[in-house]
Chain A
Amino acid sequence: MTATATVGLSDLRAFLHGLPGVDKVGVEGRAAALGTRSVKTGSKAKAIDLAIRMVDLTTLEGADTPGKVRALCAKGRRPDPADPGCPPVAAICVYPAMVPVAAAALAGSGVHLASVATAFPSGQAPLEVKLADTRAAVAAGADEVDMVISRGAFLAGDYTRVFDEIVAVREACGSAHLKVILETGELGTYDNVRRASWLAMLAGADFIKTSTGKVAVNATLPITLVMLEAVRDFRARHGRQVGVKPAGGIKTTKDAIKYLVLINETVGDDWLSPDWFRFGASSLLNDLLMQRTKLTTGHYSGPDYFTLD
């Protein structure tokens, strides 16, 4: 923080606008090309287990109840009751009001508890409200906080405001990990995705995350590729590693494996771990379990063999 706290508006703008541009055709072509990798047999089995360990199993509905959240936590701890060898997910992700319930349900499991905060998903609330939201979530037991940036301020060019907000939320998090949601579907260009990634990292994000899952365009391969390039370059420059979390719209094992290939061939081994890469997802987990069972038994089981939570 020492170097970044002194960054003023003009410096920050000059820096963000001085980052190399992203060519849309090129980045989409590269992501599509990596999407054709063929991952089979043993490497597929490893990829599936890794992907399960990377899932932030999420429920963010107005209709969430303690019962629903407890069920989800049970699923996260033991995704496949029929197979004790199946690893748990990385974290359970809920609204702040549900954090106490989830904290009790996850106690002692090693599964992290993430809470969205800062007036998720729009971020359109006064800073004091956002900070109170964050503190409450952490006080109730969340060890990871998923905040949203003020896209309005970012698009208006008010980078300092976005920066200061992240710094303040970072402070409110205490020891909890901070994931900064850029809501890339609202940023419009890959250039903006790269700028927002750097802005969040400079302000102290532990993770940068694509989306809330609440807008039309959520995680995509090319957007995640741009963010992976950003964390790679940020570490090379500042010596600090930042994680990446695509969220929303990743539903199948095939999709998840494409993301793992992307990590493997862009930033490499160092990010192939739940400490540095997460999938924000809900329905993905059951497809991973179904494919996992298929690899072990050689045939597909019907969807009723996997729990719906």
Chain B
Amino acid sequence: MFEYAPAPESRSVVDIADSYGLFIDGEFRAPADGDAFKTINPASEEVLAEVATAGPEDVDRAVAAARRAFPAWSALPGAERSKYLFRIARIIQERSRELAVLESLDNGKPIKETRDVDLPLVAAHFFYYAGWADKLAYAGFGPDPRPIGVAGQVIPWNFPLLMLAWKVAPALATGNTVVLKPAETTPLSALFFADVCRQAELPPGVVNIVTGAGDTGAYLVAHPDVDKVAFTGSTEVGREIARTVAGTGKRLTLELGGKAANIVFDDAPIDQAVEGIVDGIFFNQGHVCCAGSRLLVQESVADHLMDSLKRRMATLRVGDPLDKNTDVGAINSAAQLARIRELSEIGAQEGAERWSPPCELPERGFWFAPTVFTGVTQAHRIAREEIFGPVLSVLTFRTPAEAIEKANNTPYGLSAGVWTEKGSRILAVADKLRAGVIWANTFNKFDPASPFGGYKESGYGREGGRHGLEAYLA
């Protein structure tokens, strides 16, 4: 056997402070009541840093700072704002190695992914929206579109820095100021970003970062001086936010859960479909809202495809996120691991057949082996609920009509995949799928120019592309 020797990326490339304050008005400051929480490395459970918990008073200060910064920032010519965004994008590229290591440490995702996917996309997103800042009059939202004001943004832990980029870049390009709350388990890259803003000499108050758990997020979205709320996360919390915001006149965009169907027809390019299935569900440990968590495979090729998929899964390298050869890293938190375990148990109890490749998991930290369930039906909970982990549910179908019916038979509608060598079938099926993003013969591919968002309980509003400007323009 050709074994790869350990190839660890050095963690000393990034400095992590013992403790972090809140980034308000261009300064790091202590929280009003001195509360703090610890953020850990999910691959080892080692404490990385202590991070301030923002209470109502702190959120108030952050929103006030954003409000103070708004008139001057929004009055800048677009070309001037774009200079700041270009500068931020370049600094992110220059410091991408630090950021990649930091993100892997705090999130548990493999360094291969932060280095080759997250960081390049983050920089690309800032570059993309930097380009829009002086062209807003030509974006199709009227001759003189205006910014909304202060945006309160709450982001998840699965792509901490990328989700920050998705929120902050369009908001700043359009002349809004922001208060952003990163997820409780992954605050470090956002705090690093605060330093990037200072390095770029962004005016104080344009970007504010408040850390904390759900309460901090709740204060932020409920704050009366926030004009626009943007949230990415679970459908449950999204509902809560929609209730809070209802009737206040605040603008709201939600990017929530998903249970995407990845449909493989019998004339698919099988070897590449297998790669797409693997990318669809095991990329980022399955912590992806648009993950292809439901594999719908045509019955006539199901056995062959499953053999290929299992053989491929056996080559996945699960382990140390900082090893450059790791494919699947750590589950982000104990709580998430518990949820994945619970739903997987339910899947087995409901009669689906569970399979994982032989794989040695580290003793410390939060780990879950790549898992596939076969014999799943629409009536199984693992076919309906979002697991948000490396767990694939496999269902079969007989005809294109049945595939479409099953694919759409979900409360979600974020993404879907279609695999067939027949171009006309791609178009016909994509036309009938009710999902915001449909990938044909690929999966989990992202580009800042492409709008992203959901149907039904996957949320509303679009992020990315020209469409992504709309949420931040009046």
Contact = CB atoms under 8 A, between A and B. Distances in A.
B7 A22 contact: no
Interface in B281-302: none
Binding site of A, secondary structure by majority: helix, strand, loop or mixed?
Answer: helix
A66 interface: no
B315 A43 contact: no
B421 interface: yes
Interface string B1-28: 1111101000000000000000000000
B325 A37 contact: yes
B269 A22 contact: yes
B96 to A, nearest CB: 15
B466 interface: no
B2 A20 contact: no
Given A23-B269, A30-B272, A42 B5 contact: yes
A20 B276 CA distance: 15
Nearest to B314: A268
Binding site of B, secondary structure by majority: helix, strand, loop or mixed?
Answer: loop
Contact of A29 (B4, B7, B275, B315): B275
Contacts of A22: 269, 271-272
A100 B362 CA distance: 58
Interface in A234-281: 260-261, 263-265, 269, 272
A85 interface: no
Interface string A20-44: 1111011101100000111111111
Interface residues of A, number: 29
Contact of A36 (B2, B5, B112, B441): B112
Contacts of B441: 23, 25-26
B402 interface: no
Contacts of B3: 43
B56 to A, nearest CB: 46
B2 A47 contact: yes
A294 interface: no
Contact of B324 (A38, A261, A269): A38
B417 to A, nearest CB: 12
10 tightest A-B CB contacts, nearest first: A26-B272, A38-B7, A23-B272, A23-B269, A21-B421, A38-B324, A43-B5, A264-B2, A20-B270, A21-B269
Interface of A: 20-23, 25-27, 29-30, 36-44, 46-47, 50, 229, 260-261, 263-265, 269, 272
30 contacts: A20-B271, A22-B269, A23-B421, A23-B442, A25-B272, A25-B442, A26-B271, A26-B275, A26-B276, A26-B441, A26-B442, A27-B271, A29-B275, A29-B442, A30-B272, A37-B4, A38-B4, A38-B7, A38-B325, A39-B4, A39-B5, A39-B7, A40-B4, A43-B4, A43-B5, A50-B2, A263-B2, A264-B1, A269-B2, A272-B2
